[in-house]
Amino acid sequence: MVIVDEGHNIGTKKRAEAIAKFKKVVGFTATPYRSWGSMRTPEDYGFKVIESLTLPEAQELRLLPPLVGIQINTADLVDEVPTTRSGQIDFAKLEKILKKSPDLRPFIADRVAQIISTENRNYKTVVACNFVWEAQELAELLKAKGIKVGLAVNQQAAREIHTDEIPALNTIDRYKLPESNPDSLQVIISPYVASEGFDAPATEVLVWASPTDSALRYTQYTGRLARRAEGKLFGVVVDCLYQTSQYGWTYNFGMWMKSNVRQLENGLLWLGPERDIEGLKQLPQVEALIVQSDMKDLHDLQKEGTIELQEGEFPIIILSLIGTFKGGAKRLVKIAKEVIDELRDQVPEIVVRRSSWTHYFYAVTDKDKFIQLMQAKGVKLRAESNMVKTVKGEFVISKATLEDIFFGIGRDLRPKAMAVIKDLSTREPDLFVQKESGGKTVFVATDKERFIQEMVTRGVKLKQKD
């Protein structure tokens, strides 16, 4: 048997041909869907995805820590990042522009220094950039602020630029040392070396000091941050937004895991279990992050790119399962896999596969059929309003459904929704009806668009522009 780590790197003709010579090959990767070359899906380069665990699912299972996203807005320092005709970043022209911008990297270094050394703590930090010269300049600026910093570059460049003041040799090993060790580094700056094959779970901050248009690269770097370590409550992704004056072609935390990232009332972007949010708000380090961030609305940060569910599809992922059925996540996932296998054998047309740059999952086009089979295996439904039978255009008003389309937490959104119901019911009595669900009475808006419009007029922000 041949085991391939970072299996997406097989996506070239010569490598695929070499692997094809072996009968038993198993690949592992966090990013099976490539964003460049002729071989972009696992099937293209000789693999078939047989098992998948998404980051949000791993967070629900407490295997990986939650992540928050903040922004540094440097848009005034760089007018526009050049792009090619296909809309990709033109890195050759970009390098020339950046070299002529003397204020940019000092500005970034000042802001980063304030973020990574707060609340009497020095956070282990990885800084991602595009060029070695950028890494050197940022390292000089951070060193001048008393921060112990090193460069993680290829071996040839490391030998050429290594100094005792800003090391480039053995820096990853030194970065992994505890802060109490005199050889320890707090920060490493890396154009590409630290994106794969780099394991430092104590990393608490990832800074994107340069733009990227690669979802794969963004995921790989962020994977260094999304690892459990003792005393680590969450990871922080810092996007420098000088590159996003047009928000349509470069990657950031808001675009990444698009359907799962949410914006909290304090402006932070959040990727993690809902049950952790209230505890997060109480942490002093979170208050410090809010002060240091130039908060951007999630709408402005996102772009179309991930493959969305089609109307009427029910995703078979942990978040949907635990919101629909009673029981632990592991048990629900196990039974759901059995049901999906049965459906694929019996009525394969109702099972579809949906994928993004980073992962795939199954969905069903007949939710009722899926629920019936789950119940037949002894799984019980939650008494939630999203189980109410509805017709087209109706909208069930519950904490879960409100969170799906509006910014905010269900417990805060529901009182506002109830105020809308109270105010409109007297003037438009047919706008709301009451239905039974699990022994409880719930309100249903008969005109979803009318209800949404009223919520928006009261200052509630929509998650989706449409």
Sort strands 121-122 and 117-118 into parallel, antiparallel or unpaired.
Answer: antiparallel
Domains of the chain in sequence order: 2-51 (no CATH), 59-301 (3.40.50.300), 307-382 (no CATH), 385-466 (no CATH)
Amino acid in the structure at residue 370:
F
pLDDT tens track for 312-370:
788 887 667 877 888 877 788 899 999 999 999 999 999 988 754 444 678 899 988 99
Point out the residues of the chain with pLDDT beneath 50.
Answer: 243-249, 304-307, 356-359, 384-386, 464-466
Confirm if 238 and 208 have CB atoms less than 8 A apart: yes
Backbone angles phi, psi at 68, to 5 degrees: -120, 150
pTM: 0.63
pLDDT digits (tens, 9 = 90+) for 228-283: 999 899 999 999 865 434 433 467 888 888 778 999 988 899 999 988 888 888 88
Mean pLDDT of the chain: 82
Distance separating alpha carbons of residues 391 and 203, to the nearest angstrom: 48
- Asked if 234 contacts 272 with a C-beta cutoff of 8 angstroms, the reply is yes
Distance CA 95, CA 251 (A): 18
Q: Is 116 exposed, middle or buried (0-12, 13-18, 19+ CB in 10 A)?
A: buried
The gap between the terminal CA atoms of the chain, to the nearest Å, is: 49
Q: What is the DSSP letter of 390?
A: -
DSSP H helices in 352-447:
367-376, 399-405, 410-427
